[in-house]
Homo-oligomer: A and B are copies of this chain.
Amino acid sequence: MNSSDSLTPFFNPRGVVVIGVSHDPTKLGYGLARNLVQSGYQGAVHFVNPKGNTLLGFPVYPRVGAVPDPVDLAVLLVPPPAVPDSLRECGERGIRAAIIATGGFREAGPEGAALEDRCLEIAREYGMRLVGPNCIGLMDTHLPLDTTFLQPPMPPAGSLAFISHSGAICAAIGDWIKGQGIGFSHLISLGNQADVNETDVLAPVAADPHTRVITLYLEGIRDGRRFVEQARQVSRLKPIVALKVGRFESGKRAAASHTGALAGQETAFDAAFQKAGVLRASTTEEMFQWARALAWCPPPQGRRAVVLTNAGGPGVTAADALELNGLRLADLREDTVQALRALLPPAASLHNPIDMLASASAEQYAACLRTVLADPGVDSAMIIFPPPPASTAGTVAKAIIPVIQVADKPVVVVVMGERLIQEAVELFRAAHVPDYRFPEPAASALAALYRRAESLRELDEAPMLLQDVDQDAARRLLEGQAKGEFLSQEIANRLLKAYGISTLETVLATSVEQAVETAGQIGFPVVMKVASPDIPHKSDVGGVLLNLASPSEVAQGYQAVIQKAKAARPEARIEGVHLQRMLTAGSMPAGQDVIAGVVQDRQFGPVAMFGSGGVEVEGLKDVEFALAPLTRPEAERMLEKTWAGRKLKGFRSLPPADRQAALQALGRLAQLAADFPQLAEIEINPLRVLPEGQGPRGGQGAVAIDVRIKLQN
């Protein structure tokens, strides 16, 4: 039986027993019993309480052992110390799924944690799966089944599944949703997740045909890599929207590189969600505003949106919001404009946003909408109506709903107002047309639809698996290297070479004389860096000299570099200096310098970084992250989202650089980190991206000038 099968009793039990029911209507144990009965659950309902008797027309058994068949799922609401025994009785009774609603476990301190561990042991012993403890339970509005003690009525049945780490948020959202015109298929409160966690429930919830969108309230993720894998599969079928809170809780990690310092937990979450096709919302309301559009609208083909309204102001507001959300105002085709002209008075504005004027009738709304949706240059539409002076909002709604329902493009409506729009709002909701009060959330929802469409395309992309890497050579290089230490410059360079990343010859010189001689061999000008395993950021101690053009400059430089390093870090082991050829074109450095790095995230594995390098990486924060290994669109996005990446195409006097080589190097670096999890941090700073089409090795135009690699402890 695989993991998902073992969860079947939670989602489709033949019988449910509630342990710890109460006759007192003010107690949660009563609420639980009441909800189960009132939910209309079609399976067998059983209650357990040592006092026996009957409740709500059902017999109350003194103990679980006495409960007759069928019973697949137990819901426990007994005092914390009684939970282990109660769980054992469930196991003995042959029950293989239990929800522990009781609180007072890990969240309450070390004693509670020990109690929770005992519960888990017992569950394992009996092959039993657990939801909770410290949770509200599960709700399935279609089955139906309600194992919560939330105040009735149940949230309306609908197409959103809501999975939450917080029970309070479940309770709040379960009530709040009643005013939103959409309902839940599932409400799942996971509590402390002693056993079942957010990843486990994704597949079963997605398998339910009633579920169209999965929404997640997350305070963290248990097993990051499994989450990404599972969510990536599920989001191919159904959109997942997540709100991840606790952004500011976790401090920065201790890091040996810029990459490590910048790749905080939140950037790793961003990268993980991106990889998994999960849309990350920034507020609770936004999550559900997006979810409603995702549940009810087809995905758009592109970014081009049209705005149809009866007044200038809301149109301008909408245009702003669309642009701010990364969409564009569609340019209408000439025949579309002609058709609109025939439908509207001369003073109407036919330029998108289309202002039909205050006199616009319901028929004009419908005809104009039909016209713009037929334009192949339009990917989506936003219809806005402030209380229309010439008609009622309800009349407009009735006219346009049939047009929206046959459209293969997403249409969202903005019905502005409160009292004058109630009929329209109800009509739209009944017709599954997402309605918003203002243009801004409507634009945000259209943008989410676009990102979903984009994500669906990207989910089919495979990582850039480069075949010309020498994994064996890399493995041999890493054998016997000291844990928690930096690799030597030489080994680090060879590791990069094994993965096809060009490096600059780096020669160690341990004396003035040797430095001068080596520089002559390399060819002037040269770059000199202090060679020390104990100085990660060499320029911080004045340990880097550029453009040394003569033997005398090299000789003076050697003295200076060693002296400065010793002064700044008296305890550091200093081996001499590393010398490299300085890549120049005329008197300027050739090409463009960027940073490329990877850090192993505790949760999600290797996270790659790309952006503006140098020493001010943390200050400029011009960096972008993605989970390794990288697909080509992921690497492209990292370049597009950073100034360092964008300017590779050339900027003012800066000639275009070999972008393809930068993409390749980034992909190779990410692959190296994915292949060798023992590499804790890798940072190439700078990666010199040479001018387009040039380069030392057969057209490969990016060279790692400096690399630092640290091994895991």
Give chain A's interface residues, CB within 8 Å of chain B: 28, 103-104, 107-109, 112, 149-151, 164-169, 171-173, 175-180, 217, 219, 243, 245-249, 282-285, 309-314, 316-317, 319-321, 323-324, 347, 358, 386-387, 389, 416-421, 437-441, 537, 539-542, 545-546, 560, 586-587, 612, 615-616, 619-622, 643, 646-647, 651-654
Give Cα distance in the complex from A46 to B425, angstroms. Answer: 39
Q: Are B539 and A653 in contact (CB under 8 A)?
A: yes
Q: Besides A248-B320, A283-B438, 13 other CB < 8 A contacts?
A: A166-B316, A168-B313, A168-B358, A171-B416, A172-B314, A172-B386, A175-B419, A176-B417, A179-B418, A219-B313, A247-B324, A284-B440, A616-B643
A-B contact pairs, 29 of them (CB 8 A): A107-B312, A107-B347, A149-B389, A151-B387, A164-B313, A166-B314, A167-B313, A168-B311, A168-B358, A169-B386, A171-B387, A172-B314, A172-B387, A172-B416, A175-B419, A175-B420, A178-B419, A219-B312, A245-B317, A248-B319, A248-B323, A283-B321, A283-B441, A537-B653, A540-B653, A615-B654, A616-B643, A619-B651, A620-B643
A247-B169 in contact given A108-B347, A437-B176, A616-B647 (Cβ < 8 Å): no
Check if A245 sits within 8 Å of B109, measured CB to CB: no
B418 touches A653 (CB 8 A): no
Residues on the B chain within 8 Å of A358, using CB:
103, 167-168
CB <8 Å contact, B245 and A175? no
A179 contacts which chain B residues (CB < 8 A)?
A: 418-419
Q: How far is the CB of A256 from chain B (nearest CB, A)?
A: 14
Contact of A616 among B323, B621, B651 (CB under 8 A): B651
- A387 neighbours in B (Cβ, 8 Å): 150-151, 171-172, 175
Q: How far is the CB of A198 from chain B (nearest CB, A)?
A: 14
A317 to B243, CA, bound (A): 9
- Are A249 and B314 interface neighbours, CB within 8 A? no
- The complex is assembled from copies of this chain, and their number is 2
Set B177, B247, B316, B419: member contacting A245, Cβ < 8 A: B316
- Nearest-CB distance from A538 to chain B (Å)? 9
Measured between alpha carbons, how far is A285 from B414 in the docked complex, in Å?
13
Contacts of A104 in B (CB 8 A): 347
Residues on B with C-beta less than 8 A from A177 are 418
A272 to B282, CA, bound (A): 29
Residue on B with the closest CB to A443? B283
- Check B166–A311 contact: CB distance below 8 A: yes
A107: chain B residues at CB < 8 Å are 312, 347
Chain B residue with minimal CB distance to A416?
B172
User: What's the nearest-Cβ distance from chain B to residue A35, in Å?
Assistant: 13
Bound CA–CA A246/B539 (angstroms): 46
